[in-house]
Amino acid sequence: MTDQTKMERLLRMLLLLAGKRRYSNAEIQERIKISERTVFRYLDTIDLAGMVIERANGTYRLQQDYTNTRSLQRLMHFTEEEVCVLEETIEQLEGDSAIRKQLLRKLNLLYDSKALEEKRKSNGFKKIQQLSEAIRNKRQVQLVGYRSSNSENITDRTVEPFDFLPEYEGVWCYEPESGQCKQFLITRMKQVNILSQSWQNENKHQMPFTDAFRMSANKPKAKVEALLDMKAYNLLTEEYPLAQKFIREEGRGYRLCIPVAQYHGIGRFVLGLPGNINVLGPRSFQEFLKKRINDFSLTEVDSGEY
C-alpha cells in the first residue's frame, strides 16, 4: 500500500465517522477496505489529534461538536507558520532542505504507524492523553510541579484545559486563580491529575492574541518598528515566517512594523543580532532592551595561564 493510499483511506474513514450514523469495526473494514488492526490504528490517530470519538456497543462516530476545521487542522498537524511557508514557497523547495524534511515528517505522522508509535513512547504522551480526556469530559486538572519561566517558581496549577497547541507542545487553559487564558507547555509539567470539578468558566475559554514570535496576551502590547539589514531580514523570515507580512523593503534594507503580545519574544531576537537591527520604537521597547542588556552579568575568574 502506498503512502498516498494510506492517507486517502484515513481521510475516507474520517469523513465516514463524521456522519450521523454509527459504524461497527466490520462495517468500517468493508467500506474503507482495510483490516481490523488498521481500523484501530486509525482510531488511535484520530484520538491523538484531539477529535472525540463516541464509542457505544462496538460502534464508532465522531462527536458532532468536534467535526470542525480546527480539529481537522490538529489531525494534519500543520502549524499556522507552516501553512504560510507551504502557501508561499512549496513550489520552490528542493533537495533536502530542513523545512522540507520537517513538513514530510508531519505528513508521515498522519499515516505512518511507526511515527505514531514513537510519539506514544515519548515522556509527554501520558500527560497529553490525560489532558485530552479532561477536554473531552470538560474537567479541571491539576498541573503538578509546573515550572514557570515567568514567576521562576515550581507550583501546582489548577486549570481548565480546552485546546492543544500545534504538535501537542502545550495546551491552552483557563486559570481561575489568575482569571486568564494561558499556554502551558507539556515538558514543564511533572504530571497531570484530572480533578472531579467540572469546567466553571467555559464562556471564558478563548485563545488570546498570539504574535509572530509565539507570545500571547489578551491584546497586543505595542507595535514595534525597526530597520533590518539583509542578515536580520533573512533570519527573521526563516525563524518566524508569520512576520513576513509586516515587513516592507526600504532603500537597501527592510522596515519592520509588527504588533507584539509582549517584548520577551521579539526582544530575544533583537538582542541576538546586535548591529543588524535599528529599533525605532516604541520607547518602552527600547527601555526593555536596555534593561535586558544591563541584566547581563560577567564574572571575571582568574584561572591562570594556559
What does the pLDDT look like over 230-254, one tens digit per residue? 999 999 988 888 899 999 999 989 9
Lowest mean pLDDT among 18-27, 122-131, 214-223: 122-131
Work out the average pLDDT over 108-128: 57
Per residue in 255-300, pLDDT (tens digit) is: 999 999 999 999 999 999 989 999 999 999 999 999 998 887 655 5
Question: Rounded to the nearest 10 degrees, how much is the dihedral formed by the CA atoms of 280, 283, 287, 289?
Answer: -30
Q: Does the pLDDT value for residue 41 go beyond 70?
A: yes
| Higher-confidence position of 293 and 125 | 293
Q: What is the pTM of this model?
A: 0.53
Handedness of CA 20, 21, 22, 26 (dihedral sign): negative
Helix, strand or coil for residue 248? strand
CATH code for the domain in which residue 255 is found:
3.30.70
- 184 and 264 housed in the same domain: no
- 170 and 235 housed in the same domain: no
CATH code for the domain in which residue 201 is found:
2.30.30
- 202 and 222 housed in the same domain: no
Percent with pLDDT over 90 in the chain: 37
- 176 and 246 housed in the same domain: no
Q: Which of 304, 294, 216 is nearest to 261 (CA)?
A: 216
- 32 and 113 housed in the same domain: yes
Work out the average pLDDT over 62-83: 52
Helix, strand or coil for residue 149? coil
- 191 and 220 housed in the same domain: no
- 188 and 291 housed in the same domain: no
Helix, strand or coil for residue 169? coil
- 175 and 74 housed in the same domain: no
Per residue in 79-115, pLDDT (tens digit) is: 555 545 544 543 444 444 555 555 545 544 443 444 4
pLDDT attached to residue 82: 52
- What is the rounded average pLDDT for all residues in the chain? 79
Where are any strands of DSSP class E within 148-236? 154-164, 170-175, 180-185, 191-198, 209-210, 216-217, 222-228
> Nine-digit cell at 163?
485546546
- 279 and 222 housed in the same domain: yes
CB 159 within 8 A of CB 174: yes
Last residue in a domain, options 172, 207, 242:
207
Phi and psi of 113, rounded to 5°?
-65, -30
| Higher-confidence position of 47 and 99 | 47
Q: Which of 197, 200, 165, 196 is nearest to 179 (CA)?
A: 200
pLDDT attached to residue 111: 39
Give the integer Cα–Cα distance in Å for 171 and 194. 14
Q: Which of 163, 125, 131 is nearest to 144 (CA)?
A: 131
What b/e string do you get for 47-61 counting C-beta neighbours within 10 Å, with b at 16 or more?
ebbbbbeeeeeeebb
pLDDT attached to residue 81: 56
Give helix 263-271 / helix 230-239 axis angle, nearest 10°: 140
- 114 and 39 housed in the same domain: yes
Structural domain that includes position 182: 138-207
304 Cβ neighbours under 8 A, 6+ residues apart: none
Give the integer Cα–Cα distance in Å for 166 and 207. 13
- 68 and 9 housed in the same domain: yes
Q: Does the pLDDT value for residue 12 go beyond 60?
A: yes
Grid cell 500527560 in the structure block, residue: 127
Helix, strand or coil for residue 59? strand
Percent with pLDDT over 70 in the chain: 73
Q: Does the pLDDT value for residue 119 go beyond 80?
A: no
Lowest mean pLDDT among 44-48, 131-135, 171-175, 178-182: 44-48
Q: Which of 106-120, 136-150, 289-303 has the highest mean pLDDT?
A: 136-150
Last residue in a domain, options 92, 121, 150:
121
Q: Which of 177, 228, 172, 178 is nearest to 50 (CA)?
A: 172
